[in-house]
Amino acid sequence: MIVAAGQFVVTPDWRSNASTCVSLMAQAADRQAALLVLPEALLARDDGDPHLSVKSAQALDGEFLALLRAESRKNRLTTVLTIHVPSSAGRAINTLVALREGEIIARYAKLHLYDAFNMLESEKVDAGSVVAPLIEVGGMKVGLMTCYDLRFPELALALALQGAEMLVLPAAWVRGPLKEHHWATLLAARALDTTCYLVAAGECGNRNIGQSRIVDPQGVTIAAAGEGPQLICAEAPADRLSQTRAKLPVLRNRRFAPPRLR
């Protein structure tokens, strides 16, 4: 099947951001993609206000997702993204949603909050506690992750041991010394750890790196974006997955018990 990742600069205006998401969804559908991954925290962003996305939080039945769900009804494209959903006064949950045919078919509350590199996501965001169930797209089982989750191999491995053949990762990877290197290295590592395809979309702009990537089960980048707005697509054939797992059976060769995640 064809998979896609779209990146853009998230603005302070949620209506503008919704319009961009709708445009990327239409473009991905035109390219016959079965799956589109968009970046993390798409409601609103402002370089001068790190908490704007939380302040702009909307319910899952709010206006932002209503616009995306309307576009989703036009085809069978599965679209994955995250938005902040209100949890309590001044706080929110960084919530991944998967849309298909106008419906939310899965959701996931980000497990690992970005309390690193002098940032503190947990100051305004509540962490999830449950690994999301797999979804099926184009005959492949897909596991759901969000941004900082990439640094925790046990989550990717837990999803692979449940049967995931592809992992998706909406992200807003913050710029900084060696951060681009970490991004590329970790994407390849998680693909190799699990022998899964990995489709990662990164928000771009002054603060975040963009650099969306589609990586195959042998850690090979088969499509990559630069720093600016872009839609990338790649074929993700099932036989590449089966051939890789036949000659590199790391999931069967494991000697340790599966990681136990709540």
Dist. CA 185–CA 35, nearest whole Å: 23
Q: What is the pLDDT of residue 259?
A: 64
Residues in the chain, overall count: 262
Q: What is the pLDDT of residue 64?
A: 98
What are the boundaries of each domain within the chain?
A: 2-246
CB environment 118-142: b (16+ within 10 A), e (fewer) = eeebeebbbebeebbebbebbebbb
**Which listed residue (21, 71, 121, 147) is catalytic?**
147
pLDDT, tens digit, for every residue of 183-234?
999 999 999 999 999 999 999 999 999 999 999 999 999 999 999 999 999 9
What is the rounded distance in angstroms from the CA atom of residue 1 to the CA atom of residue 35?
9
Q: Is residue 147 annotated as a catalytic residue, yes or no?
A: yes
Give 88-111 pLDDT, tens digit per residue.
Answer: 999 999 999 999 999 999 999 999
Catalytic residue among 40, 71, 121, 203: 40
Q: Which residue has the tokens 């069967």?
A: 252
pLDDT tens digits for 243-255? Answer: 999 999 999 999 8
Of residues 99 and 47, the one with the higher pLDDT is 99
Q: Which CATH superfamily is domain 2-246 in?
A: Carbon-nitrogen hydrolase (3.60.110.10)
Please check the confidence at residue 261 and state whether its pLDDT lies above 90.
no
**Res. 80: pLDDT tops 60:** yes
Give the active site residue among 71, 110, 124, 204.
110
User: How high is the pLDDT of residue 236?
Assistant: 98
Assigned token pair, 167: 């992992």
